[in-house]
């Protein structure tokens, strides 16, 4: 049986899915047709129900929960892994002054409306409304070209912004951790609810086995990871993987589910997302 599968070309996703899609584990009769897309494209595809299985932002999952259920395997949660708000011209003090006096003039580059990063930005800085959606990898360049005043960065850009003379204003992951005491839920793997329950459970098991294989053989997928990593230095690739792939990627567990539940509760209380009627998990 062939299933469509979407995930990003970022090292954490290619690390997770390498063993699965290249049959380094027994896939028990399943094959996968893969789409490699940036996170916001995956979010949009999920909201249209275009894929059988897909990575998506937890923020976007709120709009797709009627069609998809969250798997226990494959998620990206963690401490110290949140999005960063950066700038070329502001520090915390000067930004606070501008927000107080003229927040509407601040142009903010975000990696997508439905990203969890944008959700956290809305919680921390509700005054910032002048947002421009950019591909996450273009935000640093837009800052340096003075096309935006602030940039919300995710993924490997955490490791590159300082080298380009950009300054961190706030770590929104740290903000979340102090607010909730939980790991920050960034992205999850969801499966179409129309698929048989047996298939849903099988896919969850196979993704877990793929992650476990990757941990046991961390260099096994190096060529595949490098192929999609936008000429990223190998040391940066593995820093990226170390941050975003962890015990929650094997199994959300009670702690991971608690973090996801709190995320949605806070978002609904602040009217950032609609009320969710469906049960979230498989």
Q: Is 137 annotated as a binding residue?
A: no
Q: Mapping DSSP to helix (H, G, I), strand (E, B) and coil, where does residue 183 land?
A: coil
Q: Is 31 annotated as a binding residue?
A: no
pLDDT digits (tens, 9 = 90+) for 111-129: 888 888 898 998 889 899 9
Q: Which residues contact 198 (CB under 8 A, 6 or more apart)?
A: none
Q: Is 56 annotated as a binding residue?
A: yes
Which CATH code fits 84-180? 3.40.190.10
Q: Looking at the chain, how many residues does it have?
A: 282
Confidence of residue 81 (pLDDT cuts 50, 70, 90): confident
How far is Cα 156 from Cα 140, in angstroms, rounded to an integer? 11
2-78+184-269 and 84-180 in the same fold: yes
What's the pLDDT at 102?
A: 94
Q: Is 172 annotated as a binding residue?
A: no
What's the pLDDT at 37?
A: 95
In DSSP notation, 202-231 reads HHHHHHHHHHHHHHHSTTTTHHHHHHTSTT
Which residues are tagged catalytic? 155
Q: Is 117 annotated as a binding residue?
A: yes
| β-pairing verdict for 53-57 and 150-153 | unpaired
Q: Which residues contact 263 (CB under 8 A, 6 or more apart)?
A: 58, 116, 119, 185
Tokens for 59, please give them.
């923020």
Which fold does the domain 2-78+184-269 belong to in CATH?
Answer: D-Maltodextrin-Binding Protein; domain 2 (3.40.190)
Q: Mapping DSSP to helix (H, G, I), strand (E, B) and coil, where does residue 273 land?
A: coil
Confidence of residue 231 (pLDDT cuts 50, 70, 90): low
Average pLDDT of the chain, as a whole number: 93
Distance of CA 75 to the CA centre of its chain: 9
Residue 120: closest CA among 178, 72, 42: 178
Mean pLDDT over 150-178 rounds to 90
How far is Cα 34 from Cα 29, in angstroms, rounded to an integer? 16
Domain residue spans of the chain: 2-78+184-269, 84-180
Torsion, Cα of 16, 17, 20, 24 (10° steps):
-70
Overall pTM surpassing 0.75 (yes/no): yes
Is the per-residue pLDDT at 166 higher than 90?
A: yes
Is the per-residue pLDDT at 151 higher than 90?
A: yes
Residue 134: closest CA among 122, 123, 145: 145
pLDDT digits (tens, 9 = 90+) for 167-183: 999 999 999 999 999 99
């Amino acid at each position: 049986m062939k299933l469509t599968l979407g995930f990003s070309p970022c090292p954490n996703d290619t690390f997770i899915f390498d063993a699965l899609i290249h049959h380094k584990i027994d896939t028990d009769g399943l094959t996968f047709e893969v789409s490699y897309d940036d996170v916001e494209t995956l979010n949009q595809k999920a909201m249209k129900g275009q894929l059988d299985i897909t990575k998506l932002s937890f923020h976007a999952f709120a709009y797709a929960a009627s069609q998809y259920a969250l798997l226990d395997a494959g998620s990206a949660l963690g401490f110290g892994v949140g999005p960063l708000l950066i700038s070329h011209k502001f520090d915390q003090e000067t930004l606070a002054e501008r927000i107080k006096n003229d927040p509407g003039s601040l142009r903010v580059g975000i990696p997508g409306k439905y990203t969890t990063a944008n959700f956290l930005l809305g919680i921390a800085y509700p005054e910032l409304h002048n947002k421009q959606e950019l591909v996450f990898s273009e935000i640093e360049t837009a800052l340096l070209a003075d096309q935006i005043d602030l940039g919300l960065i995710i993924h490997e850009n955490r490791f590159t912004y300082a080298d380009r003379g950009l300054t961190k204003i706030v770590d929104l992951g740290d903000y979340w951790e102090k607010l909730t005491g939980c790991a920050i839920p960034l992205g999850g793997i969801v499966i179409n609810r129309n698929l048989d329950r047996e298939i849903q459970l099988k896919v969850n098991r196979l993704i877990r086995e793929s992650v476990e294989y990757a941990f046991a053989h961390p260099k096994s997928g190096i060529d595949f990871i490098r192929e999609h990593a936008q000429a990223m230095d190998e040391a940066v690739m593995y820093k990226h993987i170390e941050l975003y792939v962890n015990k929650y990627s094997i199994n959300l567990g009670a702690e991971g589910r608690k973090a996801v539940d709190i995320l949605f509760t806070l978002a609904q209380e602040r009217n950032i997302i609609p009320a969710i009627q469906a049960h979230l998990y498989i």
